[in-house]
Chain A
Amino acid sequence: MAEAVFHAPKRKRRVYETYESPLPIPFGQDHGPLKEFKIFRAEMINNNVIVRNAEDIEQLYGKGYFGKGILSRSRPSFTISDPKLVAKWKDMKTNMPIITSKRYQHSVEWAAELMRRQGQDESTVRRILKDYTKPLEHPPVKRNEEAQVHDKLNSGMVSNMEGTAGGERPSVRGLHHEDGSQHIGLLHPGDRGPDHEYVLVEEAECAMSEREAAPNEELVQRNRLICRRNPYRIFEYLQLSLEEAFFLVYALGCLSIYYEKEPLTIVKLWKAFTVVQPTFRTTYMAYHYFRSKGWVPKVGLKYGTDLLLYRKGPPFYHASYSVIIELVDDHFEGSLRRPLSWKSLAALSRVSVNVSKELMLCYLIKPSTMTDKEMESPECMKRIKVQEVILSRWVSSRERSDQDDL
């Protein structure tokens, strides 16, 4: 037939994650549907949709691969831990990040600077920090039966701290930073916040302290890990693209977006996002379409197109399709979002083939009877039709024996 054949996606050879759920909504809860349905919370900061709650971040990314960690490549996995130190001390089996002493000093300095800017005088700053950063002998262990207390090292015991299950937002009392991307982590003592509060600092041993020969101390220079509190913590947030955010709000009803503590309605979001990104409606409709087919669309910037379609999610399969979105009217004509010439199409086609993806053109056909007023509401999508077309190159010469049928 003249239709394109569907090629099953290629699975990645090494998969490091387990698949939880296709969407961040509860499937098949036993008791009342309203009970467990959680609505996640996001904020509009500088025209970006940011999710700050750690638990929400985990749910949203883990189920459906929505968003991107602002300090990471994709999954929010930022840590201040120094990978070399982690490898060096891997016998410690601890969840706390391990940093160098120099790095720790930086953190202390930054915290001090911040407090000075807040108006605190120097002596107060020093006093607070000294108190805050003293080494901890037994850092609090939270309901963890498996805590192991290593006594291979002298002072500066480390214990296995369970990954915090706390879900509250990092509370910052009185030390609020304007920039939404970083948050001061100087908490009142005793405040149990999310991870990174306690760090292991590798410090050189003082000459005065007793030196016990630790038999399994393999290093020449005597270093030890001291547990301290981190005064300047950096939190990673999840940034959702406008399409992802709108999908979570409109299609699934599981996200609320706040602006200055006011939740926004769907119609308001539809309009506001279009102001921020003029082609939002077009790209959203295509995004919604592919999500409703169970595929995971991610941004296609890397390959010069609008969307990349993954089956299940990026960790499992390589992207199968690279999509260009166009909006046309009833007569199948329309001004294109990008001026396509054969040259650029040929280039995109070659690039896609080189990365084993298929180039797809997604046409959104809008009926000519649709008024602008109708387009002001996302309900206009019910009247939009979608036409997918696969563009592929055909080689005429005989060397295409390995190419399957047309």
Chain B
Amino acid sequence: FHPAAGPSEPKMAGADGDDSLYPIAVLIDELRNEDVQLRLNSIKKLSTIALALGVERTRTELLPFLTDTIYDEDEVLLALAEQLGNFTMLVGGPEYVHCLLPPLESLATVEETVVRDKAVESLRKISQEHSPVDLEVHFEPLVKRLASGDWFTSRTSACGLFSVCYPRVSSTVKAEIRQHFRTLCSDDTPMVRRAAASKLGEFAKVLELDYVKSDIIPLFTALASDEQDSVRLLAVEACVSIATLLPQEDLETLVMPTLRQAAEDKSWRVRYMVADKFSELQKAVGPEITKNDLVPAFQNLLKDCEAEVRAAAANKVKEFCENLPEDGRETIIMTHILPCVKELVSDTNQHVKSALASVIMGLSTILGKDNTIEHLLPLFLAQLKDECPEVRLNIISNLDCVNEVIGIRQLSQSLLPAIVELAEDAKWRVRLAIIEYMPLLAGQLGVEFFDEKLNSLCMAWLVDHVYAIREAATCNLMKLVEKFGAEWAQNTIVPKVLGMANDPNYLHRMTTLFCINALSEACGQEITTKHMLPVVLKMSNDQVANVRFNVAKCLQKIGPVLDNNALQTEVKPVLEKLAADQDMDVKYFAQEAISVLALA
């Protein structure tokens, strides 16, 4: 097996003289090609090579070769690391899976993080395929070697491997593993401490409870007071897992001092992490501690001096309140949380306000009708008038929660100006977002309110300058018709839509066609045949080819809604005329319509 020999000496690969192995030889040759792309292709076909070589030669020749050549481009190494994770059957099944360890071990030490992570992922995967004996004989020594490697990369990789082998080894080996993990948690390279901290929770989960208390807790405490905030914040993540593992009575002494300290950390990154994980933490520590400790901590986070932290906390307001123990929940919210929330409504930072706006409506279900009207409604109204469109949009997009509790009517007077303003916002993405909420709003506000106040907006969008808005407006009309019925459509929408067929702007004339495409089914046969079809047919004489071929497309679309008579006597002649159009696109779509509607 000499990869360099290559296809010029096909015997090398096809030692049995089988010519069918020639292409394999080409692939093997390309593992050494100067062109990265060819090497990459070849590595991606590695399973094919292995399959052709058979399990034994894969083990004895291919794998050693791969192990030796690991100093390639990171892209090739990444592909290799990934491939090897699925190689168990190709080396002869679980019995031989340990053959894959040497190349993966080398890959787990390279500099490039992506490669290393992939190698660790593959190692974790194949660790499961090791028998308990092999795990101790082959896998665990590898973990130890990595854990005591010179360069930080191997130690970082080791951190991800402890938890996969720990549950299946003997107690002596377990003790060793714990010792190695301890060492890495106090490594003097911050990269390694970060890696260890990020695996702390995962490792704690596989440890026996006694060791969680005796080993993990001191590590947790140490990492949570690391000199680098990047390490401390990872300890917060681990806190969730650790707190879940411990019995309630130990939490106060083992976890809470650290958590309290993290919530008051001098680095905003750590406080941000606490805010971001607040719901998980709340669940992990249980209702009693939540009441005594987390409520004040949460208040502080909502009042934090960094906007990032406030925004993260504001995002959690609803979830936090929802998960409060039911007895006393209302009191806690009303006396402790709501005052902070009120301040956030007029926060100086738009991200904070918009984070709050995305959850604040959820409080109404928790607090009930009276509190909502008295305390929350003024906040909703204030946010509806916010200068930042995102805040207003977030309120409007969550109207359904309020609707269930107090009905939307309470809000409608303030809603309208907000909606109108958003509907005419200079940013088309804002306009697009509000259109998407129209059907929901229409449903909640009722048809009268809609006709009176919102209908004109919906029609105005049809002539927007941005295509995406016109398209969304079309789709919106369809949903409205589904909601309010065909009769409503006939009286309010259809005349306006059809009126646009005479617009001097061909884009608006096309919008008529797009609307008809969308509406015909919802409006039903009668309206379509009586009102829409004549307009469409008339437009087949339009001087703009784009309009004409859209007529063809439109006819194809509404064809199924029409009866056969209309199809034969009205649609068919027009399509035939269009099929003879001088414009090739018009011809094409006309012919397509004819064949789809089977009018030929």
Q: Do these two chains really belong together in a complex? A: no
| Residues of chain B whose beta carbon lies under 8 Å from any beta carbon of chain A | none
